[in-house]
Amino acid sequence: MTLSAERHAAHDPDDFAGTLDNRPLLLVDADEVLLRFVERLERYLESQGLLLRLDSFRLSGNIFTRDSGAPVPPAHTKGLISDFFDACVDDIDAVPDAAAALDRLSGAYRIAILSNVPARCRDRRAAALAGHGMAFPVLANSGEKGPVVRSLADRTQGPVVFIDDLPPQVSSVAAHAPETHRIHSVADPRLARLIGKAEHAHIRLDDWTALEAHLFGLLA
């Protein structure tokens, strides 16, 4: 299979698993690793008469009505994020240097984007990422990422590397696939300042210059 064909392989995890071989597998989250999720979410919320205050590393409890300043009930946050994906999933800017770094890494790693994007939005997300120069398989997940990483790790002969911004996802992968090399990465500097290295990450790296160097270093 050519590199071009690999980049456009099926996005179903089981179909993707059938393309794995002995190369290292790199599984990369999208939001706040490859895409500037929070910046775009802020603009969307403003269009809805809402404000996002980055007082802590979470969305629930940090969204407020612009007019009254009242907090949006946490129970409504999930619906807001779902509406955001429907409206904006194909209109989120890329994190600087991510596309160029992944392009260089793709000669050594089998790369897939493991994103908790709603399944109905997966194709739009894949098209948007391709438009940013990141035309890799997009695996749409729901909930914990550990089980799907375990499944993929069982079907590859090479080492597995996982990158995510959320500590619970890093912990999930540590629990289900402990042999995976786990990298914690938070692209937005405002968010990055609000949280330390995830407990179960091997390393914390927040920009793609450092990530690329580290990923190539793992191969040495």
Least confident of 70-74, 104-108, 146-150: 70-74
Q: What is the pLDDT of residue 146?
A: 98
Q: What mean pLDDT is reported for the chain?
A: 92
User: Do 50 and 154 share a domain, yes or no?
Assistant: no
User: Do 104 and 203 share a domain, yes or no?
Assistant: yes
Q: What is the pLDDT of residue 6?
A: 52
User: Do 77 and 140 share a domain, yes or no?
Assistant: no
More confident position, 2 or 26 = 26
Q: Can you give the pTM of this predicted structure?
A: 0.92
Percent of the chain with pLDDT over 70: 95
* pLDDT, average across residues 70-83: 89
Q: What is the pLDDT of residue 120?
A: 95
User: Do 53 and 153 share a domain, yes or no?
Assistant: no
User: Do 117 and 163 share a domain, yes or no?
Assistant: yes
Q: What is the pLDDT of residue 7?
A: 53
Domain tally, the chain? 2
**How would DSSP label each residue in the chain?**
--HHHHHT---SHHHHHTT--SS-EEEE--BTTTB-HHHHHHHHHHHTTEEE--SSS-STT-EEETTT-PBPPHHHHHHHHHHHHHHHTT--PBPTTHHHHHHHHTTTSEEEEEE---GGGHHHHHHHHHHTT----EEE--S-SHHHHHHHHHT-SS-EEEEES-HHHHHHHHHH-TTSEEEE---SHHHHTT----TT-SEE--SHHHHHHHHHHHT-
User: Do 187 and 135 share a domain, yes or no?
Assistant: yes
More confident position, 218 or 72 = 218
User: Do 116 and 193 share a domain, yes or no?
Assistant: yes
pLDDT band at 57 (very low <50, low <70, confident <90, very high): confident
Residue 151's domain comprises: 3-36+93-218
Q: What is the pLDDT of residues 142-184, one digit of tens each?
A: 999 999 999 999 999 899 999 999 999 999 999 999 999 999 9
Q: What is the pLDDT of residues 33-52, one digit of tens each?
A: 999 999 999 999 999 999 99
User: Do 136 and 212 share a domain, yes or no?
Assistant: yes
Q: What is the pLDDT of residue 16?
A: 87
